[in-house]
Amino acid sequence: MAGIYIHIPFCKQACYYCDFHFSTSLKYKAEMLDAIIHEINLQKTYLAGESINTIYFGGGTPSLLDSGDVNRIIDQISQYYSISSDAEITLEANPDDLDQPKVQTLRNTPINRFSIGIQSFFDEDLFWMNRAHRSTEAEASVKRAQDAGFENITVDLIFGYPLLTDAKWKQNIDKVFALNVPHVSAYSMTVEPQTALATFIKKKVYAPLNEQQSAEQFLVLADAMQAKGFEHYEISNYAKPGHYSKHNTNYWRGVNYLGLGPSAHSYNGEARQWNLANNAKYIAAIEKKEIPAETEILTESNRLNEYVMTSLRTMWGLDLDKLETIAVGAKTQLLKPAAEFLEREWIKQVDNKLILTREGQLYADTIAAELFF
């Protein structure tokens, strides 16, 4: 099974913290959709022979698409790929886009999962982030989707920023529980270069982020989720049993996937490729029947390091035997630097797998870097 990701590079406005590729102008939306349709044709052999079990509309803001746009893209994919009958087909959405008419029309598409970017239920926080929606729309959008028959819903939250007191964070968590959604993605706020947030902090318009606050709020969330029966199956993701994101789990488990649209990445086990992050140049290249992508052939070390990085983020952990299938002797080599983290109890060894402890999850990137080959 393989996955397909479609990058829709448009947003109503720019969130201050976001460094994803997007445009706030919808002027060339029609041309972009035509280009994505044509890219599907150009990429028709990339996952040759594989069935598709996940399709993910990301961005940007894919909920700016109408049902006809969604159907057109999925129909084109089905021309060249076999889509599994139980495929997970996700649409990322902003709450303000999911009014009742929009939700109802999306019932007439193969979309069967929503990823709703709530981030916070407090208006002052949403304003601080420059989000397009308001708190009332956040709650209403989830309920509308549920009332329309969409049961497979995940919501996004952000923590670790100055306005978010511990009391407010607990209220956000409780609000999500009250909405009875089966999946939650929660991310620590980060300051990415070239974003408005980075500029505001540099100019002291906004207070800097606090790593200790972020760590404490991460632990509060993890404990609350566990108490409510959610499995912490990846550092930023929690799900009721059986409700993992199939698409993102494919990424962490090294399953092949095709990325369509500007800035989208693809992976086939041997190489990575990524499309140009420029809307005009992407459209122009596709019109010439060229795929505007760069490719990196993965070395043995690349494959080992990628497996270390992705597997450690999950509750399933790093399988030492799998390392040996990538490179003979890799298990012995990795266990040497891992000894320190086992002693600190940041990692635990269960059978032949290395799994991050709750404390170790706070240092996941540091641990992975130390274990790199």
Task: Go through the domains of the chain in sequence order and give each one's CATH number.
Answer: 2-252 (3.20.20.70), 300-371 (1.10.10.920)
Question: In the structure encoding, which two tokens stand for residue 46, read together?
Answer: 């990339």
State how far the Cα of 355 lies from the Cα of 360, in Å rounded to an integer.
Answer: 9
Instruction: Express the helix, strand and coil content of the chain in percent, nearest 5 each.
Output: 45, 25, 35
Are 67 and 109 a contacting pair, CB within 8 Å? Answer: yes
Are 55 and 21 a contacting pair, CB within 8 Å? Answer: no
* Predicted TM-score of the model (pTM): 0.96
Contacts of 370 (CB under 8 A, 6+ apart): 337, 340, 341
- Sign of torsion over alpha carbons 45, 50, 56, 58: negative
Residue in this structure with the two tokens 């997007």, named with its chain if needed:
22
Beta bridge partners of 158: 187
Tally the C-alpha atoms within 13 A of residue 159's C-alpha that lie toward its C-beta: 26
Q: Where are the alpha helices (DSSP H) in 118-243?
A: 123-129, 135-147, 166-179, 196-202, 211-227
State how far the Cα of 196 lies from the Cα of 159, in Å rounded to an integer.
Answer: 18
Question: In the structure encoding, which two tokens stand for residue 232, read together?
Answer: 């912490």
Question: In the structure encoding, which two tokens stand for residue 102, read together?
Answer: 């929009």
Degrees (nearest 5) of the Cα angle 183, 81, 154? 10
Residue 352: per-residue pLDDT: 95
Helices vs. strands in the chain: H and E counts, helices first: 15, 15
Are 120 and 135 a contacting pair, CB within 8 Å? Answer: yes
**Cβ neighbours of 207 (radius 10 Å):** 11
State how far the Cα of 107 lies from the Cα of 12, in Å rounded to an integer.
Answer: 23
State how far the Cα of 196 lies from the Cα of 304, in Å rounded to an integer.
Answer: 35
Contacts of 43 (CB under 8 A, 6+ apart): 258, 260, 266, 291
Beta bridge partners of 10: 23
State how far the Cα of 181 lies from the Cα of 153, in Å rounded to an integer.
Answer: 6
Each residue's pLDDT, cut to its tens digit, for the chain (373 residues) gives 899 999 999 999 999 999 999 999 888 999 999 999 999 999 999 998 899 999 999 999 999 999 999 999 999 999 999 999 999 999 999 999 999 999 999 999 999 999 999 999 999 999 999 999 999 999 999 999 999 999 999 999 999 999 999 999 999 999 999 999 999 999 999 999 999 999 999 999 999 999 999 999 999 999 999 999 999 999 999 999 999 999 999 999 999 999 999 999 999 999 999 999 999 999 999 999 999 999 999 999 999 999 999 999 999 999 999 999 999 999 999 999 999 999 999 999 999 999 999 999 999 999 999 999 9
State how far the Cα of 99 lies from the Cα of 105, in Å rounded to an integer.
Answer: 10
> Using omega within 30 degrees of 0 as the cis cutoff, is the peptide bond preceding 160 cis?
no
State how far the Cα of 160 lies from the Cα of 8, in Å rounded to an integer.
Answer: 28
